[in-house]
Structure 1
Amino acid sequence: MKFAIISAGEGSRLSQEGVRLPKPLVQLNGTAMIDRLIRIFEANGAEQVVVIINNEVPETKTHLAELKKTSGVPLEVVVKTTPSSMHSFYELSRYLKDDKFCLTTVDTIFREDEFARFIEAFKASDKDGMMAVTDYIDDEKPLYISTDEELNITGFHDEATPQCRYISGGIYCLTPKAIRTLEGCMEKGMSRMRNFQRQLVADGLRLTAYPFSKILDVDHASDIVKAEAFLNRKE
């Protein structure tokens, strides 16, 4: 199974709030966020990790070049500035067409034990996709997910509906079947990951929700302290 990281954003809100490091290199408990993800993926049996970064932050490129020399898992780095996370996913997709894969953004923070159970559940599943979800809402524009009683996903929504128990956690386990949907989205000129996810449902892919207790994003300087407390189980 392969793992992929979208890390092509500018991290403008962090820099405006005085955080000098590029977002992938922001440290949580002394470890860069991108290093933490790669280590976790390796621990969960990654055959390869593919990362996309933008071409405007040389520090991240240099860091990954050094990490590639010592990484215990094959590491592929794509350097390209893209207009959206869905476009970043498209740039990564050529590496992901031959097996199940897990995709996430670099600033998605979760507990490792929950993630390990999530990956094992997906490996054993016959579904086309398994999405990490949470009922903890700390996002400025959450993507709500409607499900049936068996947690099969029926829709993705900008606003909550009575069928929405969870929001998207930004961790996607998918099969190569999803790449065909992605390619169709690109051909139609679509953008944004949430529109891609809606298209997965429209195309009839079988998706299920996998609940996590809490998933955080690091978008602001204050989120760094919050994320560290969460990982240290103080929150």
Structure 2
Amino acid sequence: MKVVILAGGFGTRLSEETQNLPKPLVNIGERPIIWHIMKTYAAAGLDDFVICCGYKAHMLKSYFVNYFSENYDIKVHLGENRVEFLGGPSERWTVTLVDTGLDTMTGGRIKRIASHVGNEAFCLTYGDGLANVDIKALIAFHRSHGRLVTVTSVPSPGRFGILDIDEQQNVTRFHEKPDNEMGWINGGFFVVEPAAINYIRDDQTSWEREPLEKLARDGALAAFPHRGFWHPMDTLRDQRELEALWKSGAAPWRCW
């Protein structure tokens, strides 16, 4: 099963970092966040990746083209015009990088890589979020229900206080959102059947809008509930929180 990673957005809410590089290449520790995501899938036995590039696509391509020279010891034989990589690589990934357009929406990016996934189900996620999702259990769940798409559902963040407001716009109560009122949101980490791509109209289609909404109406969308660790990297604060977890030596998403 292939893994498709959406990595083409501008990352405007993390502009402190993304002025100079695409968000998937923003480091957590000494490695880009996309590396952490790929390691999560690889730990489940999935090592064939399709990366949907867009903003600063050349930098993502360069990262993987130069992966061995930047991450492993090398011996350069100048007289023989040959480079020798020392030691066996821990990553044995196949990585297909596709420039899916600068302004293409998420759905359009998926539609553009349809030929790279063929006629088999594939995993799909965003290039800016980490989780300790059980990938094998997610795939098994998808195979068990027969629907076109499975989305990993996560509890909505409970960091916002709730205001109870009367008709005169007076706040009658301020309270934190209890766990049983949190609801569920899209956490990424999808499993998708190729037929679901037919729900995407064109480049300007957002995967999270018309396609998922219609899939839900058609009874073709299932949710895999995940109550464990999940953390998007939308802002500099998010990046610093993930960085601190990694440096602590107890990053919840590390399963390799």
Q: Does 1:43 align with 2:61?
A: no
Question: Residue 139 and residue 176 in structure 1: after superposition, are their counterparts in 2 closer, same or farther (change >3 A)?
Answer: farther
Q: CA deviation at 1:134?
A: 0.9
Query: Does the 8 A contact of 1:181 with 1:203 survive in 2?
Result: no
Where does 1:6-17 land on structure 2 (aligned, <5 Å)? Answer: 6-16=6-16
Q: Does 1:169 align with 2:190?
A: no
Question: Residue 124 and residue 46 in structure 1: after superposition, are their counterparts in 2 closer, same or farther (change >3 A)?
Answer: farther
State the match for 1:180 in structure 2: 198
Q: Secondary structure at the match of 1:118?
A: helix
Name which one, 1 or 2, has greater alpha-carbon Rg. 2
Question: Residue 15 and residue 129 in structure 1: after superposition, are their counterparts in 2 closer, same or farther (change >3 A)?
Answer: same
Q: CA deviation at 1:108?
A: 1.4
Q: CA deviation at 1:219?
A: 1.4
Inter-partner Cα distance in structure 1 for 2:102 and 2:67: 21
Percent identical across equivalent pairs? 20
Decide which of 89, 93, 96 is 1:73's aligned counterpart: 93
Q: Which runs of 5+ in 2 are unaligned?
A: 70-88, 161-179
CA-based RMSD: 3.2
Question: Residue 179 and residue 22 in structure 1: after superposition, are their counterparts in 2 closer, same or farther (change >3 A)?
Answer: closer
Decide which of 87, 96, 103 is 2:124's aligned counterpart: 103
Letter in 2 for 1:121: F
Tell me the TM-score normalised to structure 2 length: 0.68
Q: CA deviation at 1:19?
A: 7.2
Question: Residue 215 and residue 81 in structure 1: after superposition, are their counterparts in 2 closer, same or farther (change >3 A)?
Answer: same
Query: Does the 8 A contact of 1:19 with 1:221 survive in 2?
Result: no
Q: CA deviation at 1:90?
A: 1.5
Q: CA deviation at 1:227?
A: 2.3
Query: Does the 8 A contact of 2:21 with 2:56 survive in 1?
Result: no
Q: Does 1:63 align with 2:63?
A: yes
Q: Secondary structure at the match of 2:117?
A: coil
Tell me the TM-score normalised to structure 1 length: 0.74
Letter in 1 for 2:220: L
Tell me how many residue pairs correspond in the alignment.
209
State the match for 2:233 in structure 1: 218
